[in-house]
């Protein structure tokens, strides 16, 4: 029996090459049971004519399906659904199968929703003035070389790195690069068993919180701070002590008398961008020693330091194993990468590794290997340098525009960073401001989620220059100034 | 100043192309501060001669470094370290920085080490008779098409899928494929908000345990069972009730009077390979309804069903939302992939999503998109079919060899699977057997870790045929029989 040509239909909003779409259409027909074994397909000439594509496209699709044993060819009589083609399901899905009679309010043992993650639009790149934080600028990212490294990591030679179940281990190439090149540039020496690859910095902070904190322990955090860190600590049920930061970051003298773990961002305080001076770093270490607390250093955006050399990490001053260091490639390569690392004492790393193995075994091998190539071929440093040059220019334009409109800057990084922390006049709700601005194609990040509790101030916001072209900045700031003026009146 | 040619040295055990190694050597020299800005590099002719490589190789490396701004060329006078080259660190790592004076026995809030993960050798492929479970057979994996799909997912068109921070969302293309094609073939209909992509099946089980279990709740598990599941549940501190499986899998009548969550593997019990018959599935659902328990169905190896069509998932019989379904691509594509999914009621999935976001945000975008292409182009089904054909052959050889030597089979899948569960005579310790066999290039998996507690039987073991060529099986089994005979005497 021949399959009627009318059943072939290329959906107009399909994606991929024509060949891929034809291949997909036929595979789906077989997998769904519409095309049966032994049925004859239209000739490539007829199908090409019917679909309005070139005959070679259909022939190539057929050849590929032949190789995959979806089709078989019989001498001079054309292509047929192969006898070895995958079996369609022999049962139909039960349409009543997604009923729900469960009392989930009782069935759920713990709740994890309710964090205050800000809502960022996924279509941010369609905004004309995206002062959005933490996304990749396609004009800066080194797509070609990343692709090249990914391809290399997909090669036969790297087959085992790609496919192996490492159990609880990391890619040795990536660990070696981090130990030999990345960490020494932060003043840190570490052995492979003092390093753990994580699914981004957030995963590193999460693992650390699980291993170090319990309901009976106290964590000190910066106020304001990265909202996901607050969520992680809240979920761990430890006591939280929030310490207000000043223009030099976390003031050690303001720490409570007792804390078990101090979370800090000395390179660029998140979100105020303050850089902690050397004296204060030493004072913080002294204070931690005094109360026998550990310090978790999120070395946030250290690499975006285009206005001066970054200072060594706090960890580099640590002679006791008191500092746990969190680094990330996700921010500087691209956030979808989800790749970071933890550095700390062997005993600590061993527990984090065991927990990571239980949660997800290990970060995917292919991603680790691709990053190892990207780093070791020097593409990472080139990317950071290029970003620094462009960010410096954008920041200058932004500073000028903010000054022109008299907008209140609350914090900016001494060494760089990718954003400016802003304060609107009291009484302005920046979430409402954000709403009004979106209608005018401007994206800002309201600041409320960085503060704790219901009394969080509403007049702060963050303006990033990591994803907006310089030439759009003045106009974006002008619109912002107009909407701010409206909001005040 | 010129950089002395003697400082250039290609390490003999280096990897990558010669060009990449030269590029890397020079980038490292600059990044480590050995080569300073403005210093002149040897001519490509001299360096080529010195290193014993062709001149074009050196020229290509220089050109690449030029493009990345590590080098600059000056008219007719050669290549120099660029004025824009990355800054070397201005401080040297503190050699005393990795001291450790912390009392970690006090500092660690929780311990996660101590699970009973079996130790598998990372160099398993160098064994001649690897009856190892859960690794990729390079002769079966569809490397070319995986690479092709990965490349497509790395393309400009998919740039945002590659780089975007999805916050807590999944790749819509992958979710769509799972909902429209994968699940219906298991008899399951689900909406996108009833599906969550996870870092493999283990991550799905982990998320489920965190959301459903507390210290006051009880989980029923199969005995023997997948050791990582037991570790996950032990860490959650819930009460554990282990129920011995029989040749039809988990017997519902043996369940305790009360359990909050029942973990089961109906398709192929792990590790015994038992397939649960339809009657028993219905009885299990009835029993769960009676005690108002939830069921977590790990649809383990359902796709490896070369001896008959797989039966529909337990989830397909569920009309109440009582069954939570765990699927995985890691096992059938490759374990290093770390990609699986959870299907369940919206409220449940919402909590799992929030927890996942806190732990790691989302599985990397590029991996999700690559898998979506691999699935939708039909490569996945071809791979499974090819694996089934080869596994069927290997299994036949294995069954024959086991029969020839009179070795005791404890469980084998009715529909297929990738391993046979074996029982050695009482008194044989299969961990010692494993040790003796490794010396003769045979790898087996001792069974003790699948059982609970200190009284775990030591005479079980698993023999997988997923990574060993047919022609090596008879000899491998012969050696096994010899060592078993020695162990008994």
What confidence score (pLDDT) does residue B138 get?
81
A316 in reach of chain B (CB within 8 A)? yes
Cα distances (angstroms) measured from residue B160 to each of A121, A334, B338: 13, 10, 21
- Residues B115, A358: C-beta atoms closer than 8 Å: yes
DSSP letters spanning A241-289: EEEE-BTTB--GGGS-S--SEEEE--SS-TTT-----HHHHHHHHHHHH
Residue A37 or A131, more confident: A131
Residue A399 confidence class, pLDDT cut points 50, 70, 90 = very high
Topology (CATH) of A124-134+382-488:
3.90.1150
CB contact at 8 A, A364 and A350? no
Residue B15 has pLDDT above 90, yes or no: no
Average pLDDT over residues A103-118: 83
Shortest Cα–Cα distance, A136 to chain B (Å): 6
Q: What is the ipTM of this complex?
A: 0.84
Residue B96 has pLDDT above 80, yes or no: no
Shortest Cα–Cα distance, A321 to chain B (Å): 4
- Residues A360, B31: C-beta atoms closer than 8 Å: no
Scanning every residue of chain A, which has its alpha carbon at the shortest distance from the alpha carbon of B14?
Answer: A173
CB contact at 8 A, B231 and B117? yes
Nearest to A442 by CA among A485, A408, A482: A482
Scanning every residue of chain B, which has its alpha carbon at the shortest distance from the alpha carbon of A185?
Answer: B89
CB contact at 8 A, B175 and B330? no
- Residues B161, A335: C-beta atoms closer than 8 Å: no
Least confident of A277-281, B4-8, B26-30, B301-305: B4-8
Best B112, B154, B228, B386 residue to mutate vs chain A (most A CBs within 10 Å): B112
What confidence score (pLDDT) does residue B36 get?
83
- CA–CA separation, B289 vs B468, rounded Å? 43
- CA–CA separation, B375 vs B142, rounded Å? 12
Average pLDDT over residues A26-43: 83
- Residues B109, A150: C-beta atoms closer than 8 Å: no
Q: Are strands A409-412 and A218-223 parallel, antiparallel or unpaired?
A: unpaired
Peptide bond into B271 cis (omega under 30): yes
Percent of chain B with pLDDT over 70: 95
pLDDT, tens only, B413-451: 777 889 999 999 999 999 999 999 999 999 999 999 999
B489 in reach of chain A (CB within 8 A)? no
Which member of A165, A206, A336 has the closest CB to residue B165?
A: A336
pLDDT, tens only, A331-381: 778 878 889 999 999 999 999 999 999 999 889 988 999 999 998 888 888
pLDDT, tens only, A196-231: 999 999 999 999 999 999 999 999 999 999 999 999
Residue B249 has pLDDT above 80, yes or no: yes
What confidence score (pLDDT) does residue A87 get?
76
* Chain B residues lying within 8 Å of A386, measured CB to CB: 69
* Chain A residues lying within 8 Å of B69, measured CB to CB: 382, 385-386
- Residues B102, A320: C-beta atoms closer than 8 Å: yes
CB contact at 8 A, B108 and B100? no
- Give the side-chain half-sphere CA count within 13 A for A193: 5
Topology (CATH) of A143-377:
3.40.640
* Chain A residues lying within 8 Å of B139, measured CB to CB: none
Cα distances (angstroms) measured from residue B366 to each of A50, B27, B80: 35, 28, 37
- CA–CA separation, A480 vs A407, rounded Å? 9
- Residues A377, B92: C-beta atoms closer than 8 Å: no
Average pLDDT over residues B96-106: 77
Domain boundaries of chain A, sorted by first residue: 5-81, 124-134+382-488, 143-377
* Chain A residues lying within 8 Å of B320, measured CB to CB: 99-102
Least confident of B9-23, B135-149, B393-407: B9-23
Nearest to B186 by CA among B316, B344, B308: B316
Q: Beta-carbon neighbour count of residue B85 at 10 Å?
A: 26
Nearest to B263 by CA among B235, B294, B285, B234: B294
Residue partners of A409: CB distance under 8 A and separation at least 6: A402, A420, A421, A422, A423
User: Is the CA virtual torsion B12, B16, B18, B22 positive or negative?
Assistant: negative
- Residues A68, B378: C-beta atoms closer than 8 Å: yes
What confidence score (pLDDT) does residue B206 get?
97
Residue B31 has pLDDT above 60, yes or no: yes
pLDDT, tens only, B195-230: 999 999 999 999 999 999 999 999 999 999 999 999
User: DSSP character for B125?
Assistant: G
DSSP letters spanning B22-47: HHHHHHHHHHTTSSPTTPBPPPHHHH
- Residues B361, A100: C-beta atoms closer than 8 Å: no
* Chain B residues lying within 8 Å of A102, measured CB to CB: 294, 320-322, 345
Residue A98 confidence class, pLDDT cut points 50, 70, 90 = low
List the end-to-end C-alpha distance of chain B, in Å, as a whole number. Answer: 76
* Chain A residues lying within 8 Å of B93, measured CB to CB: 183-184, 187-189, 316
Best A28, A100, A121, A126 residue to mutate vs chain B (most B CBs within 10 Å): A100
Average pLDDT across chain B, whole number: 88
Residue partners of B328: CB distance under 8 A and separation at least 6: B200, B201, B204, B300, B339, B340, B341
B18 in reach of chain A (CB within 8 A)? no
Residue A18 has pLDDT above 90, yes or no: no
Phi, psi (degrees; rounded to nearest 5) at A327: -120, 165
Q: Beta-carbon neighbour count of residue A368 at 10 Å?
A: 22
- Residues B188, A93: C-beta atoms closer than 8 Å: yes
Shortest Cα–Cα distance, A5 to chain B (Å): 21
- Residues B110, A154: C-beta atoms closer than 8 Å: no
* Chain B residues lying within 8 Å of A385, measured CB to CB: 69, 84, 86
- CA–CA separation, A28 vs A37, rounded Å? 13
What confidence score (pLDDT) does residue B135 get?
84
DSSP letters spanning B343-392: E--HHHHHHHHHHHHHHHSSS-HHHHHHHHHHHHTTHHHHHHHHHHHHHH
* Chain B residues lying within 8 Å of A152, measured CB to CB: 16
With a CB-CB cutoff of 8 Å, which residues 68-87 of chain A face chain B? 68-70, 84, 86-87
Secondary structure of residue B412 in the 3-state scheme? strand
Shortest Cα–Cα distance, B439 to chain A (Å): 22
A63 in reach of chain B (CB within 8 A)? no
Residue B408 confidence class, pLDDT cut points 50, 70, 90 = confident
What confidence score (pLDDT) does residue A91 get?
58
- Residues B115, A31: C-beta atoms closer than 8 Å: no
Secondary structure of residue B80 in the 3-state scheme? strand
Shortest Cα–Cα distance, A23 to chain B (Å): 7
- Residues B377, A27: C-beta atoms closer than 8 Å: yes
- CA–CA separation, A225 vs A246, rounded Å? 12
Kind plus residue range of the DSSP H or E element containing B48: helix B44-51
What confidence score (pLDDT) does residue A175 get?
93
* Chain A residues lying within 8 Å of B164, measured CB to CB: 122, 135-136, 335-336
Residue A23 confidence class, pLDDT cut points 50, 70, 90 = confident
Residue B8 confidence class, pLDDT cut points 50, 70, 90 = confident
Cα distances (angstroms) measured from residue A68 to each of A82, A194, A284, B249, B383: 10, 46, 63, 35, 8
Residue A74 confidence class, pLDDT cut points 50, 70, 90 = confident
Residue A12 has pLDDT above 70, yes or no: no
* Chain B residues lying within 8 Å of A165, measured CB to CB: 134-135, 335-336
Average pLDDT across chain A, whole number: 88
Nearest to A258 by CA among A216, A310, A205: A216
What confidence score (pLDDT) does residue B423 get?
95
B25 token code pair: 């050597």
User: Is the CA virtual torsion B460, B461, B463, B464 positive or negative?
Assistant: positive
What confidence score (pLDDT) does residue B475 get?
97
Q: Are strands B323-328 and B129-130 parallel, antiparallel or unpaired?
A: unpaired
User: Is the CA virtual torsion A429, A431, A432, A433 positive or negative?
Assistant: positive
User: DSSP character for A123?
Assistant: T
CB contact at 8 A, B296 and B262? yes
Secondary structure of residue A479 in the 3-state scheme? helix
A171 in reach of chain B (CB within 8 A)? no
Average pLDDT over residues B233-239: 93
- Beta bridge partners, A221, equal A242
- Residues B111, A189: C-beta atoms closer than 8 Å: no
Select from 3.40.50.1360, 1.10.10.10, 3.10.180.10, 3.65.10.10 the CATH code of A5-81: 1.10.10.10
Residue A437 confidence class, pLDDT cut points 50, 70, 90 = very high
How remote is the C-alpha of B99 from its chain's centroid? 35
B411 token code pair: 């469980």
Q: Beta-carbon neighbour count of residue B69 at 10 Å?
A: 18
Secondary structure of residue B411 in the 3-state scheme? strand
Residue B180 confidence class, pLDDT cut points 50, 70, 90 = confident
Nearest to A168 by CA among A453, A40, A359: A359
CB contact at 8 A, A336 and A135? no
CB contact at 8 A, A479 and A135? no
Residue B50 Rama label (left phi>0; alpha psi -120 to 50; beta): alpha
Q: Beta-carbon neighbour count of residue A472 at 10 Å?
A: 18
Percent of chain A with pLDDT over 90: 51
Residue B250 or A335, more confident: B250
B68 token code pair: 């990345």
- CA–CA separation, B118 vs B378, rounded Å? 35
Residue partners of A429: CB distance under 8 A and separation at least 6: A458, A459, A487
* Domain B124-135+382-488 = CATH 3.60.70.12: no
Which member of A98, A189, A232 has the closest CB to residue B93?
A: A189
- CA–CA separation, B320 vs B312, rounded Å? 17
DSSP letters spanning A196-231: EEESHHHHHHHHHHHHH--TT-EEEEEES--HHHHH
What confidence score (pLDDT) does residue A461 get?
96
CB contact at 8 A, A27 and A65? yes
Residue B117 Rama label (left phi>0; alpha psi -120 to 50; beta): beta
A5 in reach of chain B (CB within 8 A)? no
How remote is the C-alpha of A56 from its chain's centroid? 41
User: DSSP character for A468?
Assistant: S
- Residues A334, B162: C-beta atoms closer than 8 Å: yes
Secondary structure of residue A423 in the 3-state scheme? strand
Average pLDDT over residues A140-155: 88
pLDDT, tens only, A222-253: 999 999 999 999 999 999 999 999 999 999 99
* Chain A residues lying within 8 Å of B416, measured CB to CB: none
Residue B302 or A261, more confident: A261
DSSP letters spanning A113-178: ----PPP--TTGGGSSEE--SS---TTTS-HHHHHHHHHHHTSGGGHHHHH---TT---HHHHHHI
Unique residue bearing structure tokens 């607390």? A293
């Amino acid at each position: 029996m021949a399959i009627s040509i009318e059943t072939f239909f290329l959906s107009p909003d399909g994606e991929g090459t024509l060949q891929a779409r034809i291949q997909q259409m036929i595979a789906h027909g077989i997998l769904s049971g519409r095309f049966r074994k032994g049925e004859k397909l239209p000739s490539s000439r007829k199908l090409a004519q019917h679909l309005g594509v070139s005959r070679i496209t259909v022939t190539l699709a057929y050849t590929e399906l032949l190789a995959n044993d979806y089709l078989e060819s019989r001498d001079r009589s054309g292509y047929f659904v192969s006898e070895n083609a995958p079996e369609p399901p022999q049962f139909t899905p039960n349409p009543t199968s997604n009923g729900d009679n469960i009392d989930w309010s009782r069935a759920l043992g713990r709740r994890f929703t309710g964090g205050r993650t800000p809502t960022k639009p996924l279509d941010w790149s369609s905004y004309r003035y995206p002062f959005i934080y933490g996304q990749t600028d396609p004009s800066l990212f080194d797509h070609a070389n990343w692709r090249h490294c990914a391809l290399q990591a997909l090669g036969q030679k790297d087959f085992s790195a790609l496919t192996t179940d490492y159990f609880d281990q990391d890619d040795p190439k990536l660990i070696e690069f981090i130990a030999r090149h990345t960490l020494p540039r932060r003043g840190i020496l570490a052995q492979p068993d003092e390093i753990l690859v994580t699914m981004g910095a957030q995963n590193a902070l999460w693992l650390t919180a699980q291993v170090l904190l319990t309901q009976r322990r106290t964590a000190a955090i910066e106020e304001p701070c990265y909202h996901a860190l607050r969520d992680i600590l809240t979920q761990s049920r430890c006591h939280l002590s929030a310490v207000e930061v000043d223009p030099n970051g976390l003031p050690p003298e303001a720490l409570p008398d007792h804390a078990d773990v101090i979370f800090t961002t000395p390179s660029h305080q998140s979100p105020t961008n303050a850089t902690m001076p050397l004296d204060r770093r030493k004072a913080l270490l002294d204070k931690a020693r005094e109360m026998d607390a550990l310090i978790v250093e999120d070395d946030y955006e250290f690499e975006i330091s285009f206005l001066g050399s970054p200072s060594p990490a706090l960890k580099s001053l640590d002679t006791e194993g008191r500092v746990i260091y969190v680094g990330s490639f996700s921010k500087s390569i691209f956030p979808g990468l989800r790749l970071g690392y933890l550095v700390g004492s062997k005993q600590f790393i061993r527990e984090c590794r065991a927990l990571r193995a239980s949660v997800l075994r290990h970060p995917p091998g292919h991603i680790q290997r691709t990053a190892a190539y990207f780093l070791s071929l020097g593409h990472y440093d080139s990317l950071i340098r290029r970003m620094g040059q462009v960010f410096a220019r954008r920041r200058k334009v932004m500073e000028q525009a903010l000054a022109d409109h008299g907008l209140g800057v609350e914090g900016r990084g001494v060494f760089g960073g990718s954003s400016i922390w802003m304060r609107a006049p009291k009484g302005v709700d920046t979430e409402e401001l954000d709403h009004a601005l979106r209608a005018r194609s401007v994206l800002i990040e309201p600041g409320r989620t960085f503060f704790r509790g219901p009394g969080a101030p509403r007049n702060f916001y963050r303006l990033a220059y990591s994803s907006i072209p310089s030439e759009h900045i003045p106009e974006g700031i002008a619109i912002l100034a107009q909407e701010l003026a409206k909001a005040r009146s």
